[in-house]
Amino acid sequence: MPEAPILDVAVLGARYGDLPALWDVSLQVAEHEVVALIGPNGAGKTTLLRAVAGLHRPSAGQIKLRGAAIDGLAAHRIVDSGVILVPEGRRLFGGMTILENLEMGAFSTRARGRRVDTMWWVFEIFPLLAERRRQRAATLSGGQQQMLAVGRALMGLPELLLLDEPSLGLAPLVVESIFSTLRQINERGVAVLLVEQNARMALELASRAYVLEGGRIVLQGNGADLLADERVQEAYLGFRAAEGALS
The alpha carbon of 85 is separated from its chain's Cα centroid by a whole number of angstroms, namely 6
- CA within 13 Å, CB half, 73: 18
**Residue 39 falls in which region: left (phi positive, over 0), alpha (psi -120 to 50) or beta:** left
What does DSSP say about strands 7-16 and 19-29: parallel, antiparallel, or unpaired?
Answer: antiparallel
**What digits encode the pLDDT tens for the residues 70-110?**
998 999 999 999 999 999 877 898 999 999 999 999 988 88
Q: What does the pLDDT read at residue 240?
A: 55
Q: At 91, which helix (H) or strand (E)?
A: none
Which residue from 149, 186, 140 is spatially nearest to 167, judged by alpha carbons?
Answer: 149
Question: 3.40.50.2000, 3.40.50.300, 3.90.420.10, 3.90.1150.10: which CATH number matches 1-82+161-240?
Answer: 3.40.50.300
Which residue from 38, 12, 4, 22 is spatially nearest to 223, judged by alpha carbons?
Answer: 38
* Dist CA 14 CA 10 (whole Å): 12
Q: Name the residue type at position 1.
A: M
Q: What does the pLDDT read at residue 108?
A: 85
* Dist CA 126 CA 151 (whole Å): 8
CB 155 within 8 Å of CB 99: no
Q: Does pLDDT of 10 surpass 50?
A: yes
Which residue from 107, 142, 138, 106 is spatially nearest to 121, judged by alpha carbons?
Answer: 106
State what percent of residues in the chain have pLDDT above 70: 95
Sign of CA dihedral 200, 205, 209, 210: negative
Q: At what angle do helices 142-154 and 115-125 cross, to 10 degrees?
A: 150
Q: What does the pLDDT read at residue 239?
A: 66
Q: Does pLDDT of 246 surpass 50?
A: no
Sequence ranges of the domains in the chain = 1-82+161-240, 87-157
Q: Name the residue type at position 147.
A: M
- Segment 197-211 shows an average pLDDT of 95
CB 147 within 8 Å of CB 112: no
**Residue 237: strand, helix, or coil:** coil
Cα dihedral 169→172→196→163 (10° resolution): -80
Q: What does the pLDDT read at residue 170?
A: 84
* Dist CA 42 CA 227 (whole Å): 22
